[in-house]
């Protein structure tokens, strides 16, 4: 076994596919390939997966992801068309009048480089202006202090890997010390909220697998994981950011729709009432825009 190998844990029935990030004598440090989970396991409990596409852990999640992504694209296209119709009606415009839209700008910090690339690809596909950076979870608070005034985002995504530490009694699930990275996420959320105190002025999406949901909301997040302390999919925070980006600024993001639309569902992600960050403007410039034009 070597760094970078794809493995499953025999004791868990091979339910999650991991990549070996570090080897420490008899223990391996693992990062989920589809779920934002950081774990460690005895090397003897691991089985190398030579053909990940045929593994049960991969097939089950990929089918669900594919269906969710297709639905998200279709819903987004439908929502954009509805918004275009509403703009014409609300502002008394004609279809041939020049106007444009400004989706909310995203600043995305990710503790996993592979997930960062996948997230940026999805932002680009959905035409969401986004600035992404791969960063260690422990450094995110410091990095946000520098980047927030530079990027001036409408939405901040703070995510990476997390997990409940082993052998913690149930009554300690509300202690931040029981989590691998929740304290780091909380620190970063506080920096974001110090920068912009209004939860409608800056939308914060924070957390990863099994993260301390309540602590993240208390620190100032609008949306966070994980109410049920379950695994969340790598793209769940991205989905919420995209929905926030395209919800009109005068409308509240539909909580039931956005949470149930994630791959993990209500046990994976929760949040509070929040206004969207999408704006329209006019006249439309003849110069090509970086945001989607109407």
What is the per-residue pLDDT across 55-76, written as a single tens digit (0 to 9) for each? 665 666 666 666 666 766 677 6
Sequence-distant (6+) residues with CB within 8 A of 126 are: 73, 76, 242
Predicted confidence (pLDDT) per residue in 220-263, tens digit: 999 999 999 999 988 899 999 999 999 989 899 999 989 988 88
Q: Report the phi/psi class of residue 29: left, alpha or beta, with left for phi > 0 and alpha for psi in -120 to 50.
A: beta
pLDDT at position 223: 98
| Cβ atoms of residues 209 and 36 within 8 Å | yes
Could you tell me which of 53, 37, 14 has the C-alpha nearest to residue 160? 37
With respect to CATH, is domain 63-281 assigned 3.40.50.970? no
Q: Which of 274, 280, 281 is nearest to 253 (CA)?
A: 274
pLDDT given at position 59 = 60
User: Which of 18-22, 118-122, 155-159, 162-166 tops mean pLDDT?
Assistant: 155-159
pLDDT, tens digit, 9 for 90 and up, residues 201-216 = 999 999 999 999 999 9
């Amino acid at each position: 076994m070597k760094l970078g190998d794809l493995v499953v844990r025999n004791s868990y029935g091979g339910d999650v596919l991991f990549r070996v990030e570090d080897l420490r004598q008899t223990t391996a440090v693992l990062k989920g390939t589809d779920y934002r989970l950081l774990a460690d396991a005895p090397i003897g409990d691991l089985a190398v997966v030579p053909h990940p596409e045929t593994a049960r852990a991969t097939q089950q999640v990929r089918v669900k992801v594919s269906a969710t992504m297709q639905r998200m694209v279709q819903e987004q296209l439908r929502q954009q068309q509805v918004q275009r119709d509403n703009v014409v009606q609300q502002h008394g415009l004609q279809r041939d009048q020049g106007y444009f839209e400004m989706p909310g700008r995203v600043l995305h910090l990710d503790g996993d480089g592979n997930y960062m690339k996948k997230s940026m690809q999805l932002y680009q596909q959905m035409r969401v202006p986004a600035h992404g950076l791969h960063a260690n979870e422990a450094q995110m608070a410091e990095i946000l202090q520098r980047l927030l005034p530079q990027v001036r985002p409408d939405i901040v995504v703070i995510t990476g890997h997390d997990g409940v530490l082993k052998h913690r009694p149930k009554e300690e699930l509300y202690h931040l010390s029981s989590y691998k990275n929740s304290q780091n996420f909380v620190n970063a959320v506080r920096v974001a909220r110090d920068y912009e105190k209004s939860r409608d002025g800056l939308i914060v999406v924070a957390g990863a697998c099994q993260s301390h949901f309540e602590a993240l909301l208390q620190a100032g997040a609008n949306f966070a994981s994980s109410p049920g302390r379950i695994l969340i999919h790598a793209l769940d925070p991205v989905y919420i950011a995209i929905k926030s980006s395209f919800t009109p600024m005068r409308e509240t993001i539909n909580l039931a729709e956005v949470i149930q639309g994630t791959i993990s569902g209500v046990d994976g992600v929760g949040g509070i009432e929040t206004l969207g960050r999408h704006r329209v403007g006019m006249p439309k410039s003849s110069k090509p825009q970086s945001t989607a034009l109407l």
